[in-house]
A and B are shown apart, each in its own frame.
Chain A
């Protein structure tokens, strides 16, 4: 017994004395891109394909093009488990790595994004929360270091309403229609509410809000309320297990699936496959194409998986969230390119990359050169507009795969932008930020 206890004491002492390794110095010709990922925990099924897509595209840029402007891209993953507190630790761990520090953070979680936004301006490391996070950050005057292009939840909500209006035969037909919003009861899920409320006042539809608590395994009461309310359309802002259960429950009450639209985080293969045939016809928003029919996918297959399609598929190649990871990585790479155009082809600091993000201009020609023609839509970021309010498309699940069922839908800029500026101004006031002027 004594020996055992001493061993424990010793163990404790070792644990207490050990220190953490910090710098791996050596200023090389490298650009460090940190990756916050979640490959474990309740949201891992969504985190894995995204992280794989991001990682593969970064590898592709190194393998095919020899990096960006001759500067190799180095990545390091840090596991957050979608947990804000671990996210903070990861941020602190990664922000100083590489010869010039972390380039740009992709927090991949609304909670972590909110956490990092105040820090980003102080540490001068930009944040790219691609289509998630704080919508108000679209106002570049108040949030110089935060970017949320190509489009935000508010823009997306307005695009959904447009789509619904279109299906009903015109926006004037929305009057008296009933729409239910099923949302994840968190900062993320509440995002679309202000926009949907504003549009309700404008178009006169009826709106019911139904909150689902994390994790959302049990939604009987939500769908009972939908049975009672009998909405014409259901919009869902869900995440993780909540999506699968919602799709299943909707099928269980015979709700027409082609009138059930999920946000872009509720529209991956993961969300529909567990529901089986019941999920057929389910709709979801997106800002990039599904499938693996684009030249960039061929490149990924060739350079990363040496043409082995089975292995590529085991790494989620071509899945919706994989593609989203690819898009995110492409935005980072193109921003680096734009930054190099300003500051020269060398490893850049976060501050310099920020300039690149703000000068990002993805034209149709450029996308074609990247093998992404029709994969995403062109965009142009500006000092004033960090969102670009890109268009949204609706995709449908046919039991096998996702495919587009709508054209690109432009969000309602006249409705969303004033709300963004109002929210940004409120944030600036509360946190004592003086908005910069955009020249």
Chain B
């Protein structure tokens, strides 16, 4: 009976009785969601512009963070290390375009997906060869102190992360909407061939988009790396971004953010309130089940492009 209560309405009663704690769970969920979105954004950018599901996004997060920390350990000041890392990511994008994307143009999405897996293996080995496998402490000067707002405890670091995430979305939105290159990107995303026929250079666009994804990966790497230290496991956060991506739709920047928020709050509330009754650690699968529920109503994600099928 106790079990049944804990599985069903018990947690709801608790939420009602301790609204402040519920607020704390929800707020922390939202902030975690932003952190997921940071990773998911990189996927969306590349998928949107080139139709490639970039499995290597996680390892790009690791690689960029490793480069940043590695440079800082060699005595390069933070700002210079940041600039150099951006340069590294742009060079990486150019190499990827030349070596991998260009020969594989016009292939099935699943083939391109597979090629990014090859890239993943390569970058894992390459990054660790150059920068080593130790945990590196990353401190870019973001304050990290607990903050008590009327009984709700949040970390200032998480607030900063949310602010940075929000800024990034705004910048990306402006970039996509207002700049010529952004318009070109959207044109490519809508229709490769039509874009080519009006004279948009596809290859340049790819380099740009992979570079931007590299920079997004760098931001995600900094935020996650500050929490856990920069180490190999950073590449595994891509898994946390998958449900966000699917829920928000592969092609939508706002979708990645809203998807992240929904997943963040959903999984935290589920784990904190219903988890203990069944032994805990349910958030991983719950995130997918949550995404699945949304998909049953919108099979292309919340903000994905509508699929129109013709026979």
Chain B residue nearest in CB terms to A316: B134
Query: Which of B31, B136, B240, B272 makes the CB contact (< 8 A) with A217?
Result: B240
Which A residues are CB-close (under 8 A) to B29? 220
For residues 205 through 232 of chain A, which have their beta carbon under 8 Å from a beta carbon of chain B? 208-213, 215, 217-218, 220-221, 224-225, 227-228
Contact across chains for B280 and A211 when beta carbons are under 8 A apart: yes
* CB of B113 closer than 8 Å to a CB of A: no
* CB of B97 closer than 8 Å to a CB of A: no
Contact across chains for A215 and B233 when beta carbons are under 8 A apart: yes
Q: Pick out which of these stretches binds chain A: B20-28, B176-184, B200-208, B209-217.
A: B20-28
Q: How large is the interface on B (under 10, 10 to 19, 20 to 34, 35 or more residues)?
A: 35 or more
Q: Pick out which of these stretches binds chain B: A28-36, A60-68, A150-158, A273-281.
A: A273-281
* CB of B268 closer than 8 Å to a CB of A: yes
Which A residues are CB-close (under 8 A) to B128? 40, 44
The smallest C-beta distance from A229 to any residue of chain B, in angstroms, reads 9
Q: Given A211-B281, A218-B240, is A225 in contact with B233 using a C-beta cutoff of 8 Å?
A: no
Contact across chains for A221 and B139 when beta carbons are under 8 A apart: no
A273 to B137, CA, bound (A): 7
* CB of B231 closer than 8 Å to a CB of A: yes
* CB of B135 closer than 8 Å to a CB of A: yes
For residues 258 through 294 of chain B, which have their beta carbon under 8 Å from a beta carbon of chain A? 267-268, 271-272, 275-276, 279-281, 283-284
* CB of A45 closer than 8 Å to a CB of B: yes
For residues 19 through 56 of chain A, which have their beta carbon under 8 Å from a beta carbon of chain B? 39-42, 44-45, 48
Contact across chains for B284 and A213 when beta carbons are under 8 A apart: yes
* CB of A254 closer than 8 Å to a CB of B: yes
* CB of B144 closer than 8 Å to a CB of A: yes
Which B residues are CB-close (under 8 A) to A245? 227-228
Contact across chains for B228 and A213 when beta carbons are under 8 A apart: no
What's the tally of chain A residues with a CB closer than 8 Å to chain B? 36
Contact across chains for A224 and B135 when beta carbons are under 8 A apart: no
Query: Which of B133, B136, B146, B240 makes the CB contact (< 8 A) with A39?
Result: B133
Chain A residue nearest in CB terms to B32: A220
Chain B residue nearest in CB terms to A229: B276
Chain A residue nearest in CB terms to B125: A40
Q: Given A39-B133, A40-B133, A253-B146, is A273 in contact with B229 using a C-beta cutoff of 8 Å?
A: yes
Q: Given A41-B232, A224-B268, is A217 in contact with B224 using a C-beta cutoff of 8 Å?
A: yes
Contact across chains for B233 and A221 when beta carbons are under 8 A apart: no
Which A residues are CB-close (under 8 A) to B136? 274
The smallest C-beta distance from B103 to any residue of chain A, in angstroms, reads 11
Contact across chains for A213 and B281 when beta carbons are under 8 A apart: yes
- Does more than half of chain B's interface fall in helix, strand or loop, or is it mixed? helix
Which B residues are CB-close (under 8 A) to A377? none
Contact across chains for A244 and B229 when beta carbons are under 8 A apart: yes
Which A residues are CB-close (under 8 A) to B268? 220-221, 224
Which B residues are CB-close (under 8 A) to A212? 281
Which B residues are CB-close (under 8 A) to A215? 233, 236
For residues 280 through 327 of chain A, which have their beta carbon under 8 Å from a beta carbon of chain B? none
Which A residues are CB-close (under 8 A) to B228? 217, 241, 244-245, 248, 274
The smallest C-beta distance from B175 to any residue of chain A, in angstroms, reads 29
Which B residues are CB-close (under 8 A) to A195? none
* CB of A185 closer than 8 Å to a CB of B: yes
Contact across chains for A276 and B139 when beta carbons are under 8 A apart: yes
Q: Given A217-B240, A224-B28, is A248 in contact with B281 using a C-beta cutoff of 8 Å?
A: no
A185 to B31, CA, bound (A): 24
The smallest C-beta distance from B290 to any residue of chain A, in angstroms, reads 14
The smallest C-beta distance from B40 to any residue of chain A, in angstroms, reads 14
Contact across chains for B135 and A273 when beta carbons are under 8 A apart: yes
Q: Given A276-B137, A278-B144, is A44 in contact with B227 using a C-beta cutoff of 8 Å?
A: no
* CB of B237 closer than 8 Å to a CB of A: yes
A173-191 CB contact bits vs B (8 Å, 1 = yes)?
0000000000001000000
A296 to B286, CA, bound (A): 51
Which B residues are CB-close (under 8 A) to A228? 21, 272
Which B residues are CB-close (under 8 A) to A244? 135, 227-229
**List of 9 A-B pairs having minimum Cβ-Cβ separation, nearest first:** A274-B229, A44-B133, A221-B271, A211-B281, A241-B233, A45-B135, A211-B280, A252-B155, A42-B233
- Known: A40-B128, A209-B280, A221-B272; 15 extra A-B contacts, CB below 8 A, are A41-B133, A209-B279, A217-B233, A218-B35, A220-B268, A221-B268, A224-B28, A225-B276, A241-B231, A252-B144, A252-B146, A253-B146, A254-B146, A274-B135, A274-B228
15 contacts between A and B (CB under 8 A): A45-B232, A209-B279, A211-B280, A213-B281, A217-B234, A220-B32, A221-B268, A221-B275, A224-B28, A225-B276, A241-B233, A244-B135, A244-B227, A252-B155, A270-B134
